[in-house]
Homo-oligomer: A and B are copies of this chain.
Amino acid sequence: MTIPRAAYPAPFNTTRSSHVVLRVKDIAASRAFYVDAMGFIVSDEDKNALYLRGIEEACHHSLVLKKTTGSPVCERIGMRVYTEEDLEKAKHYFERAGLQAKWAESPFQGKTLHVSDIIGAPLEFCATMDTKPRLVVQFKHHHGACPQRIDHFQIISPDVQRACEFYSGLGFRLSEYIAVDDTDELLFVFLQRKGNPHDIVFANGPGPRLHHAAFSVPDASHILQACDIAGAFGYGNRLEFGPGRHGPAHALFVYFRDPDGHRIELFTTHYQMMDIENEPVRWDLSYMRNRPWGFPARKSWFEEASRFLDVELREPVKKSHPMTLERFLVEERP
């Protein structure tokens, strides 16, 4: 297998990852977690939905929670394109590729296109949203972990190579990847449009499933503050992994599970990656055993993820045998 290269020019101009729509069982419980503790800003709400944004976002929402009486799945992940003309081009592109793309109405968004990607993950694209004030310096509204903005999604995919090829075809650049040692067999790919390491990440496993949505925080100290405030609000046991330092992309991170088990990552900002000469950074799988510091994630982090609405799960060709915390404690001594 070979490492795909980004189409340039892109068939249409995707600018960034934009938003995620999650189904939740109890809007009040979600609000307590995301708004009171984590510090997201409420853009709109009614008894069936909560539209949230980070403190610096001028877009109406980056996180949408919808009440369900069914399973707490992920409905859809959202991407931004630059213009409505890009939306039209996208529709033609997907249709030529044999993927069904159709117009949809989404509240507070401009014209919206629904399509599922090559591994079956449901996407929506839009060029515009309603705007809201940026609260970057409205310090009265800052609390909790002070999430700034959405940054990326991680998807568990039964075929990482195929996902990588598909998004490369859309013009996403590969910034980093993890491969099986001494091969080009892709296990983790980090793909981006917006000029920092990720907009979307694919990891090998039964999928497609949403592993997490990630939001940036202003400073390293907010990673610890997120933990403290989570503890103060009774969500200490929802901290699943971290605080720690990533290998790929290098950010400080912490992962929480929300009241429905959906996972979010809070992390510090990434480096800039905008120049044509930047080759993707390769990591060997053995890295997973040799983190710069900190223990590996517990098994649940590797195995559990949010199902997508009405999407079948497929097993990956290659089974993973990750270095979980459980394994680590048996195999490694301090």
Residues of A at the B interface (CB closer than 8 Å) are: 8, 15-16, 56-59, 80, 82-83, 110, 127-129, 131, 134, 136-140, 143, 148-149, 194-195, 218-221, 223-225, 227-233, 235-240, 243, 245, 250, 252, 257, 268-269, 271-278, 291-294, 298, 300-301, 304, 325-326, 329, 332-334
Contact = CB atoms under 8 A, between A and B. Distances in A.
Contacts of A227: 245, 293-294
A292 B232 contact: yes
Given A139-B231, A219-B219, A269-B269, 15 more contacts: A56-B272, A58-B278, A128-B277, A136-B271, A137-B228, A139-B228, A140-B232, A149-B272, A220-B224, A224-B245, A228-B245, A230-B293, A237-B332, A257-B334, A300-B333
A134 B238 contact: no
A148 B269 CA distance: 11
Given A137-B245, A221-B221, A271 B131 contact: no
A246 to B, nearest CB: 9
Given A16-B274, A137-B292, A219-B221, A334 B129 contact: no
Contacts of A218: 219-220, 268-269
A54 to B, nearest CB: 10
A293 to B, nearest CB: 4
Contacts of A143: 143
A325 B276 CA distance: 44
A129 B277 contact: yes
B329 A298 contact: yes
Contact of A243 (B237, B243, B274): B243
Contacts of A57: 272
Contacts of A332: 237
B231 A277 contact: no
A277 to B, nearest CB: 5
B271 A56 contact: yes
Contacts of A334: 237-238, 240, 257, 298, 300-301, 304
A58 B83 CA distance: 31
B194 A293 contact: no
